[in-house]
Structure 1
Amino acid sequence: MTKSEAADLYLSTVCPNNAAGDVLFQALNADPGDFEAIKAAADAYASTQTNSAEVFDDPTILWPENIRKDIPVMSEDAFSVLSWIAQIEAATTLEETYIYPPAIGDAQTSSQRIRSRLGISSDIVESCADYQ
């Protein structure tokens, strides 16, 4: 896989996921809370997060050597977030949707290292403009 192909796959994976996560966090932080909006946002985020987990966990994707150690970190983070989303999706009341997300682990560092090594801007808004 070329650097350009890797950058395109990376952004086409993380950008929709970042956008869906933002919608969920906005719904969770809305005052007053809207149970149906939170559930809908959680469902959408689950879909994009599942895609991220699958892409980053796919052993047939041969990422460039200089980012290969970071890809499993992204996969682990995606699966961790899926567990949290599942709890929100299972909620039957608004109060049950207010669950702390998993702690940010090494994925944030790995993400920025991947971006740097693939020549992608560290600005997640700017770099995702064409991938929403």
Structure 2
Amino acid sequence: MKKMYAVMALAALALTGCSGGAQTNSAPPETAKATATPSPTPTIMTKAEAGKFYLATICPSNILSDKAGKAVQAEPFNLKAAKSATAALRDGYRKAIETLSNEKVLWPDPVKADVAALAESMYGDLSGAENAANQTTDAGFFAAWNDWTTAPAQPNAQKIRLKLGLSSDTDASCKIK
């Protein structure tokens, strides 16, 4: 019973302390201090992560390249379809270049320079696709398509594939039919 009176007395004291009576010497309420959460330290991709990321970056433009080639070789030739496929390829090259060149993507050291070289070499393909996509006549399109000299991306791409343990068969690894 004495314990119950003690609990009730403590409860009464707690209630009177919270009753809102004027208190002159109260400390200002503490404000919550915002603490900055440190951003995670970027880490270099593992070989396996880099391989998956590489294929996810390159395969879309490889597939678009295959589609553009088929559109150009279609019988009868359809300028509108060829221009559309080539414009999509141009956009695919641009996206691949941007992704490969993204400074936030940390490639493993063995492929870092090769990835940069591949991205650099793809600018020629970007320009060639842009030129072909902008043509207004069949003759102009074929001239731009045939004058389009592909930069030496293939050796860089194969170096990356080899160093990351990926298949050198671009059709199979990108599921091009």
Q: Same fold (TM over 0.5)?
A: yes
Corresponding residue to 2:149 among 99, 102, 125: 102
Within a 5 Å distance, the mapping from 1:1-132 to structure 2 comes to 1-98=45-142, 99=144, 100-105=147-152, 107-129=153-175
Determine the C-alpha separation between the residues in 2 that align with 1:15 and 1:35: 25
Q: CA deviation at 1:30?
A: 2.5
Contact 2:124 2:151 in 1 (8 A): no
TM-score scaled by length of structure 2: 0.68
Aligned residues: 130
Determine the C-alpha separation between the residues in 2 that align with 1:104 and 1:66: 22
Contact 2:125 2:150 in 1 (8 A): no
Of 61-70 and 22-31, more deviation after overlay is shown by: 22-31
Task: Structure 1: give runs of 5+ residues left out of the alignment.
Answer: none
Give aligned-pair identity as a percent. Answer: 32
Task: Structure 2: give runs of 5+ residues left out of the alignment.
Answer: 1-44
Q: Secondary structure at the match of 2:113?
A: coil
Q: Which has the higher helix share?
A: 1
Of 55-64 and 3-12, more deviation after overlay is shown by: 55-64
Contact 2:124 2:150 in 1 (8 A): no
Q: Which residue of 1 aligns with 2:13?
A: none
Give the counterpart letter for 2:121 in structure 1.
Answer: D
Determine the C-alpha separation between the residues in 2 that align with 1:24 and 1:65: 34
Contact 2:63 2:174 in 1 (8 A): no
Query: What's the RMSD between the two structures over aligned residues?
Result: 1.7
- Map Cα deviations across residues 61-80 of structure 1 (whole Å, 9 max, x no partner): 11010011111221112211
Q: Rg bigger for which structure?
A: 2
- Map Cα deviations across residues 6-45 of structure 1 (whole Å, 9 max, x no partner): 1111101111111100111122222331101101101211
Give the counterpart letter for 2:75 in structure 1.
Answer: D
Q: Which has the higher contact order (CA 8 A, sep 6+)?
A: 1
Which portions of structure 1, spanning 4 or more consecutive aligned residues, are displaced by more than 2 angstroms? 29-32
Determine the C-alpha separation between the residues in 2 that align with 1:33 and 1:108: 28
TM-score scaled by length of structure 1: 0.89
Determine the C-alpha separation between the residues in 1 that align with 2:71 and 2:49: 34
Determine the C-alpha separation between the residues in 2 that align with 1:56 and 1:118: 15
